């Protein structure tokens, strides 16, 4: 059965797009069929996947407003080998148009339904705000993966996001859960990092991923080349961290053989 995850945090600069692109590539490395949906008008996940957002025939905008089917807008990331529903600035207009449409909160869910048999994992890159696009993502998915930095203001933002998730769960998507909390740009030498990390562990328990994504130059460089870190430098600490995250997700959801888990976590054997 397909697993559908929204990567969400209304605070910008926490690694949402980086997580989407690199998690998608890492899941593909374990032989999973993956669809990445770029739901951010900035189109960064599209560009980071090696797809030119300014040269799209069709995008997620046309899908949401009913101008085409989702399967017609699919493209393949040349470097990550996962499928993408790409986005560009046109998506800004979609939110305005969606407000006057019937079942506006479920437009994405309805559009994706015909694709579910084609993929094992679906990953949605949400915009850095709690708008109608984010509501559609949360309504369409099973769980939310929340990337966050271990800093004070991140905790405040996390509280608002959890409240939103609870509201969506109560009114639109009863099955919605917090799939996991991912610590990004992680520096264990920082005392605040350790304090916030301890608070997250106490509050979220097993939902806090063991994997932490460190600050990594190669991870930051990869998007400018239109590649996930796994394609850009598979031995980098960033690439290894996202392979480990994919391994955690697979262990939570699937009964894997030990060699399959090693494949997910060890780039030398992937």
- 183-233 pLDDT, tens digit per residue, is 999 988 888 888 889 989 998 999 999 999 999 999 999 999 999 999 999
Domains of the chain: 3-265 (3.40.50.300)
DSSP of 204-244, one letter per residue? HGGGEEEEEEEP-HHHHHGGGGT--HHHH-TTSHHHHHHHH
What CA–CA distances, in Å, run from 84 to 24, 38, 75, 233, 266? 10, 7, 5, 22, 25
CA dihedral (189, 186, 227, 266) positive or negative: positive
Q: What is the pLDDT of residue 265?
A: 47
Cα 227 to Cα 231: distance, rounded to the nearest angstrom: 6
Least confident of 54-68, 104-118, 222-236, 255-269: 255-269
Q: What is the pLDDT of residue 268?
A: 39
Give Cβ neighbours of residue 204 (< 8 Å, ≥ 6 apart). 178, 181
pLDDT in tens, 29-52: 999 999 999 999 999 999 999 999
Q: What is the pLDDT of residue 261?
A: 47
Given a cut of 70, whether residue 122 has pLDDT beyond it is yes
Given a cut of 50, whether residue 270 has pLDDT beyond it is no
Q: What is the pLDDT of residue 135?
A: 95
Tokens of 153: 């203001």
pLDDT in tens, 140-167: 999 999 999 888 777 777 888 899 999 9
Given a cut of 70, whether residue 20 has pLDDT beyond it is yes
Compute the mean pLDDT over every residue in the chain, rounded to the nearest whole number.
91
The secondary structure of residue 142, as a DSSP letter, is: S
- The alpha helices in 107-236, defined as continuous H runs, are 107-112, 132-140, 152-171, 191-204, 217-221, 229-232
The residue written with tokens 């800093």 in the block is: 151
Cα 168 to Cα 172: distance, rounded to the nearest angstrom: 5
User: Would you say 128 and 40 are in contact if contact means Cβ atoms under 8 Å apart?
Assistant: yes
The secondary structure of residue 105, as a DSSP letter, is: G
Angle at 118 between CA 238 and CA 129, to 5 degrees: 50
pLDDT in tens, 229-264: 999 999 999 999 999 999 999 998 875 554 554 454
Cα 148 to Cα 154: distance, rounded to the nearest angstrom: 7
Q: To which H or E segment does residue 95 belong?
A: helix 91-98
The residue written with tokens 């506006």 in the block is: 104
Q: What is the pLDDT of residue 237?
A: 96
Mean pLDDT value of segment 174-183:
96
Cα 207 to Cα 194: distance, rounded to the nearest angstrom: 17
Give Cβ neighbours of residue 107 (< 8 Å, ≥ 6 apart). 64, 98, 101, 136
């Amino acid at each position: 059965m397909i697993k559908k995850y929204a990567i969400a945090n209304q605070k910008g600069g926490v690694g949402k797009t980086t997580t989407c692109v690199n998690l998608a590539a890492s899941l593909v490395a374990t032989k999973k069929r993956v669809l990445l949906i770029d739901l951010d008008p900035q189109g960064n996940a599209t560009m980071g996947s090696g797809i030119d957002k300014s040269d799209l025939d069709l995008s997620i905008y046309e899908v949401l407003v009913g101008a085409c089917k989702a399967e017609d807008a699919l493209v393949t990331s040349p470097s990550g080998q996962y499928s993408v529903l790409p986005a560009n600035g046109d998506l800004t207009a979609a939110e305005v148009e969606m407000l006057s449409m019937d079942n506006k909160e479920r437009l994405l869910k309805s559009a994706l339904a015909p694709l579910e048999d084609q993929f094992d994992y679906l990953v949605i890159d949400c915009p850095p705000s709690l708008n109608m696009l984010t509501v559609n993502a949360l309504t369409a998915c099973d769980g939310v993966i929340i990337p966050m930095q271990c800093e004070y203001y991140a905790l405040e933002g996390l509280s608002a996001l959890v409240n939103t998730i609870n509201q969506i769960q109560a009114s639109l998507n009863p099955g919605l859960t917090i799939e996991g909390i991912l610590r990004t740009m992680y520096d264990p030498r920082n005392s605040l990092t350790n304090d916030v990390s301890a608070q997250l562990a106490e509050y979220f328990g097993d939902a806090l991923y063991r994997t932490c994504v460190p600050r990594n130059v190669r991870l930051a460089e990869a998007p400018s080349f239109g590649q996930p870190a796994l394609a850009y430098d598979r031995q980098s600490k960033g690439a290894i961290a996202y392979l480990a995250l994919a391994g955690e997700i697979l262990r939570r959801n699937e009964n894997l053989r030990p060699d399959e888990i090693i494949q997910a976590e060890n780039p030398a054997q992937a």
